[in-house]
Amino acid sequence: MASSSAPNFGATDRALRCLFVHAPEPLYADTQNYGALFMPVWAYTLASHVPMDGRFELLLCDTRFDSLAEIEAVDVALFSGINQDHDSLVRTHAALRKQFPNMVSIIGGPICWSFNQAGDLDKLADFDHIFIGDGEPVIASLLEHISAGQPLNAVIHNPKRFDMAKARALNRELLDGTIDRYYGAVLEVSRGCPFLCEFCDIRILPDNNRPHSKSPALIIAEMDHLCRLGVRQVLFACDNFIGDPSWAEQVLDALIAWQQDSGFRPGLYTWLTINLYRHPRLMEKMRLAGFDLLFVGVESFSENSLLETAKVQNSSVDLTAAIRTVQSYGFIIVAGLIFGFDSDDENCFDLTLEGLSESGLLSGDPSLLTALPGTPLFRRMKLAGRLRQVRYGLGGFKYQTNFKYLMPKERMIDGYRHFISRYNRGAYQYRRLATYMEVIAESGTFIPLHRGGYGEIGRFLAMVMRSRRAMLQLGTRALRFCARPSNLLHALRGLFLVARYRGIPGRFSYYQFWLFAWSNSVLKYQNLSRDDFDLESVDADFKIRDVMPADYEQTADEPIPANKTEAQLRATSRQLRALIDRAAMAKVRPGQGEA
């Protein structure tokens, strides 16, 4: 790869002005976060690894708050984002380049790794340098090279996973002056996950199929600083908080001890896997530490679909019982749900509705399966000729996906709309709330929080009131929800129901979240039409045996232990072969027609 040179900023005695640019796609932010704005933790993290010896001046531009026109001279602009931020990143870069023609631009983050896996780095060619990998170990060196006018490759790779034991505290200079404009704080605590889902791009990052964790001492120091700044809600960002249960318990013990000493009781939210239900001691300590919201990839209530994606932590359990066990402690599970597996049939939509109802899940926003670049699923779809030339990010335009489904697209669209229609009905929503309250009331394991949880409605509304776009969305939410009188009736029924559970401290927080999640769904889906979907299904001459291309297993080459790659291949291949055999015996293609 050719190298490029930078202006010799070292010719002056002033500090190099380095701007961290956070430019999320507005449509994604609006449709996924409903007006809540979260801090760009990547910028504060990278800034902490830049020497604070006077050679570099660090600045932050978050385009949700800051005007590009008000930015003064910039020498280096550092960008990061996810796949769906591409257009916004390119637009923002072009605007800054026009203002500062001599600036050096670097883009990194998940978008660079993903685009590289897909062979699409040319889509980022406007940036001077593309960085792929963890930036903490090398950001100081990169800036020093730029300052001295030394050449850098156009594409820079760091193949090694950063040792999170060497992580530093978030950059205080940037953090202290900006934290109050965000909803709480985001604190990255670990990276990596030991599981093997075919569709997930976490496991295939170099050395990322195992946990890499910050020290409990650093996490506590960060929490203490954040709380002294007035933060009361913290998202523990990670790929799987219980990927290393021993480390998780150490963190929880440290949190509980710190809370007892300091008096701070922040509400906590994190991401983890359903096998938490196997760890009653961890669940107890998580409640004592202040966790109330947990994102869990439930994905599907179809065992065949879970087996297809090698989601063994879900397929090896009674999923409904596991969910109820976790919720019995008082947690709210924010469930990830996916439609579009090859093993899905027309019953998958009703099966998911039944699973949500029986488990009492208060949240369950579905998405359509997407083949993320680099994943075994992406490779399988590419080998089978099923990839589409569309964007491959998640969110935003939620109903566009990048591969052809086995289920006919008309049935996929009808099934999705059927799911949403039933899901949004007041009677269905009420049943789920009633089941949830029954679970925690009768469990004997419920542990109340000391104070309010992560989802604080007052803080959220205060943030919404500062944004015209968010206020308009809030108004639209109210209008759509109230347009169906039965919604108001069941919302009132839900309030009376929760009020009866006098023995459950904080019971109205569950009502608040239920109503918020329900109205979110109404806001997003009330006017969902067929025109909102951009899907394709396989051609009429597609052979069912091609769901597993002949060289799918032979072409597997991932930077993870070989035995783990083989374990995922065994699970996925076994299920796909069973799918092929069933279709052959029935002489029909699953969900489609004649084979």
- 7 close to 39: Cβ distance less than 8 angstroms: no
Whole-angstrom Cα Rg for the chain: 24
CA separation for the pair 325, 367 (Å, rounded) = 25
Residue at token pair 């542990």 = 447
Structural domains in the chain? Answer: 3-162 (3.40.50.280), 183-525 (3.80.30.20)
Handedness of CA 22, 24, 30, 34 (dihedral sign): negative
What is the three-class DSSP state of 323? helix
Q: How far apart are CA 461 and CA 458, in angstroms?
A: 5
- Considering Cα of 300, then 306, then 309, then 314, what sign does the dihedral take? positive
Tell me whether residue 527 is exposed, middle or buried, using C-beta atoms within 10 angstroms of its C-beta: 0 to 12, 13 to 18, 19 or more. exposed
- Beta-carbon count within 10 A of 372 CB: 22
The 3-state DSSP class for residue 195 equals: coil
Give the N- to C-terminal CA distance of the chain in Å, as an integer: 48
* Angle (CA) 429 433 436, round 5°: 140
∠ CA 294-298-299 to the nearest 5 degrees?
135
| For helices 26-33 and 468-482, angle between their N-to-C axes, nearest 10 degrees | 40
Contact (CB, 8 A) for 114 and 372: yes
Tally Cβ neighbours within 10 Å of residue 455.
22
Are 195 and 376 a contacting pair, CB within 8 Å?
Answer: no
Query: Would you tell me how many other CB atoms lie within 10 Å of the CB of residue 131?
Result: 25
Rounded Cα gap, residues 208 and 194, in angstroms? 8
Cα separation, 185 vs 109, whole angstroms = 19
In this structure, are residues 212 and 192 in contact, taking their beta carbons and an 8 Å threshold?
yes
Output the DSSP codes for 509-550: HHHHHHHHHHHHHHHHHTT--GGG-B--B--TT--GGGGS-T
pLDDT tens-digit profile, the chain (595 residues): 334 555 666 556 789 999 999 999 887 666 667 778 899 999 999 999 999 999 999 999 999 999 999 999 999 999 999 998 999 999 999 999 999 999 999 999 999 999 999 999 999 999 999 999 999 999 999 999 999 999 999 999 998 999 999 999 999 999 999 999 999 999 999 999 999 999 999 988 888 999 999 999 999 999 999 999 999 999 999 999 999 999 999 999 999 999 999 999 999 999 999 999 999 999 999 999 999 999 999 999 999 999 999 998 998 899 999 999 999 999 999 999 999 999 999 999 999 999 999 999 999 889 999 999 999 999 999 999 999 988 655 444 458 899 999 999 999 999 999 999 999 999 999 999 999 999 999 999 999 998 878 888 888 888 878 878 888 888 999 999 999 999 999 999 999 999 999 999 999 999 999 999 999 999 989 889 999 999 999 999 999 999 999 999 999 988 888 899 999 999 999 999 999 999 888 766 555 544 4
